[in-house]
Every structure is written in C-alpha cells, then in structure tokens.
Amino acid sequence: MFTQQSVCNLRVMLPQPPWTKSFNWNLHITLDGEERIPFHLLRIEAAKLFWADPNTYYLVESHWLLEGGYPGGTCYDLPFLAHVQNVEVEYQHGSDNRIGPLHDGIRDIRQDVVRNFWNTLKKRFPRVRRAVINQNWESLSDKDYNKPAFPCLKILVESCPLKIDVSAFVLEEASSLPENTTITLPTNKWQRSLYRPTLDGEWRKVAPCFNRKTILMPMKRFHGPVGEFEKLRYLRNRLALQHFALGPLVIEALDRHHFDEGRQEPFLCPESGCNAYFEKAGQWTMHAIETHNVPSIKEKRFDILPNKLRDAFERHESDLERKREEVAGESRRMFNEWNEEGGEKRRDIERGWMDQLENEEAWDTGTEARESELWKFFTMVMNPTWCGQ
Ligand SMILES: [Zn+2]
C-alpha cells in the first residue's frame, strides 16, 4: 500500500501535460512514490550519458555505507561505482539509531560512525562530486519542537568532506498547501525540501523541491549458490517496483486517453460517488493522486479504463505475474533441495556457500562465513517454519 507521504512524491513524479515522452510501461516506483530508473533503461532513454549530469543521481543505501560498504552487502556491480559522480543516499529507517543511538532520550552522536560513513562513500565512489542524502520518512524528533529537526541527518551532512557538494532532501510538514489543491486531506500535509549546509554552519532550505533522475546501478554477476539466491532477492525487488507502478500508470493512461495528442475530451471522475469533472489535461491526474488513493484504483483492476487500454494493462500485468512466478518457482526449487530427505543436497549446498563466502571477495561482508548476514538470511528463509514461506 502506498504511504501517506507518497502523495507529495507522486505529485512531482507523475508526468504532467504536455506529455512529451511516450507512455512508460517500464516505470519503477517505490511505495513512497519515488521513481527509480534501472540503468539499462536509462541508456535506451538517453542517447548520451553524462556521469556529471547534475540531474542524474545513482542510488545507494545508507545501511550498506554504515556497515562499511562490503562487496557482499550489495548487489551492485562495484567497478561501476568508480565512475559515478552524483550519489543519492537513501537514508533508511534505523540510520538515526546507528549515527546517534538514544540513551535516556538523548542522542549520543557517534562521530566514528559518521566518519566511517564518508570514508566508505569516498572509497566506493572515488569520483564523487555531489551527494544528496534522501530521507523520505518522518523524523520523529520533528514532532518535538524543543529538539532540532533531523539531528542525525544534519550531523551527517555537516560532516561531509569539503570537496563533496552535499545536500539533504527531506520530508517535512507542508508550510502551505500545494497550488491548485481544492481538498485538504491528511495526505496533503507533507512536502519535500532540499537543504544545504552553509559556510557559517547553518543548514538552509535551498529549494522547495528537487527534481532529479534516480538511477538503479547495474547488478553484479550472480554466480554459484550465493549468487543464485541473491539474484532472486534482487529480481523480486525489481518486479515489486514495477508492480507498484501499475496504479500511477493507470492514472496517467486515462488522462492521456482523453487529452493527449490534441484530443479534448472532458470526462467525469470514474470513481463511484465522485462528481469531479475534468476539462483540461492533467486535472484528473492531480485529482486522482490527491483525492482518491492510488491503491484503490489499482485494486479495481483497471475497470476505470476504456477497453483497449484495459486489455493492454491486463497483458502487462500478466507479464509481470509470469516473471514473478518464475522467481517464485526458482525459490521453491531451492527450498525443496535444501529440505530434501537425507540431507545430501543440503550438505552440497552448504559446502558451496561456505566456499564462496570464505574465498570470493564479491561476497565478503567483513565477517566469518557462518556469521555472514547472507548466510543467516539464507538459512532463515530455507527453514520451513519461517513465516515468509
Ligand atoms: Zn474523483
């Protein structure tokens, strides 16, 4: 289900008229309404690729950097990272507690953790010039006005090495409602803002928004039993991002059906009980995002679309389902082998895992093989009592 803050992200993310690009069946978005562009699609989209393009950022997760950036902790192709100049760090839940663990309600800022974070980032991205730390969730200390907002994120940003141009992209309560909003919903209370540290140690809002392309870097080569397992995890995540995009795509498709390519066909809101009437391109898109939640549109299985579009969406969805079933089938095969009677296959698999974890740099997580998070996660998932089965 889309989160409440997804509304402020979707408002920016969904294409607005005039639609200059063709309809993007390959849209990937998160449940927070942020677009992710797989690298291979970027190459198709843009003839020229500029590493230094100031609006193109390559995504990396904060946990990976906070854990030391070991090769085994990521599915990205590490040699690729060496080219990247603009890094977007997804500041994940739990990062605050790594940087400033709470002791009796007071944050004890770990300068060593902050230093390691930047050292790891510089090591993995030796050409980095710009970094944006993206916190797309509500900072709890935000609620308590006696405390500064984003205490850990702020310290992280302020500790950035001088030669990196750093900013923080945060989620905060809206100071005013967005333009053209007619209805006030709880979902409208959020906005995204870009902050930068200034030379006098302040932290200043520089933009009410931040439009950029966020690229998913290419995956590493998956081989051996560890690679086979990790590849499934990676594919599952990618397919989920495409699945989440179905609702927003339905919204865009309907708007374009009535108003794209010179058409002027006003229409009534297709949601039952709603009397909104759309006379201009883009009105329905904003209305659907802000007034009707996107998931309900998706759950009605494309019923609000004209026949031809509905068929296209059904084909697209079954294509995604088929890919998902392939991944699930592969997972089941692994599970069955691991749990086969006699345990002979299990011993083989375990030997293969240990061999890779002990000897291959690609799967190094900085720990002993048996202590590796990769191994712990694998054995947890393979256990028949695991609730995810
Ligand atoms: Zn409506």
pLDDT for 276: 95
Cα 290 to ligand 1 centroid, rounded to whole Å: 9
Asked if 69 contacts 81 with a C-beta cutoff of 8 angstroms, the reply is no
Cα 380 to ligand 1 centroid, rounded to whole Å: 45
Residue 156 lies in a domain: yes
Cα 284 to ligand 1 centroid, rounded to whole Å: 8
What one-letter code names the amino acid at 217?
M
Cα 138 to ligand 1 centroid, rounded to whole Å: 28
Cα 192 to ligand 1 centroid, rounded to whole Å: 25
Q: How many domains, the chain?
A: 1
Cα 171 to ligand 1 centroid, rounded to whole Å: 26
Residue 105 lies in a domain: yes
Cα 291 to ligand 1 centroid, rounded to whole Å: 6
Residue 142 has pLDDT above 60, yes or no: no
Residue 311 lies in a domain: no
Residue 296 lies in a domain: no
Cα 270 to ligand 1 centroid, rounded to whole Å: 7
Cα 289 to ligand 1 centroid, rounded to whole Å: 10
Residue 283 has pLDDT above 90, yes or no: yes
Cα 61 to ligand 1 centroid, rounded to whole Å: 37
Task: Count Cβ atoms within 10 A of the Cβ of residue 226 and give its class: 0-12 exposed, 13-18 middle, 19 or more buried.
Answer: buried
Residue 55 has pLDDT above 50, yes or no: yes
pLDDT for 201: 75
Residue 3 lies in a domain: no
Residue 257 lies in a domain: no
How many angstroms separate the CA atoms of 13 and 25, rounded?
A: 15
Residue 31 lies in a domain: no
Cα 180 to ligand 1 centroid, rounded to whole Å: 15
Q: 47: pLDDT confidence band, cut at 50, 70 and 90?
A: very low
Cα 26 to ligand 1 centroid, rounded to whole Å: 26
How many angstroms separate the CA atoms of 209 and 186, rounded?
A: 20
Cα 175 to ligand 1 centroid, rounded to whole Å: 25
User: 321-353: per-residue pLDDT in tens?
Assistant: 999 999 999 999 999 999 999 999 999 999 999
Beta carbons within 10 angstroms of residue 4's beta carbon: 15
User: 257-269: per-residue pLDDT in tens?
Assistant: 999 999 999 999 9
Cα 3 to ligand 1 centroid, rounded to whole Å: 19
User: pTM value?
Assistant: 0.92
Give the domain extent around 76.
36-216
User: 77-116: per-residue pLDDT in tens?
Assistant: 999 999 999 999 999 999 999 999 988 878 899 999 999 9
Q: 64: pLDDT confidence band, cut at 50, 70 and 90?
A: very high
Q: 46: pLDDT confidence band, cut at 50, 70 and 90?
A: low
Residue 181 lies in a domain: yes
* More confident position, 57 or 207: 57
User: 148-206: per-residue pLDDT in tens?
Assistant: 678 899 999 999 998 999 999 999 887 665 555 555 555 567 889 999 988 887 788 88
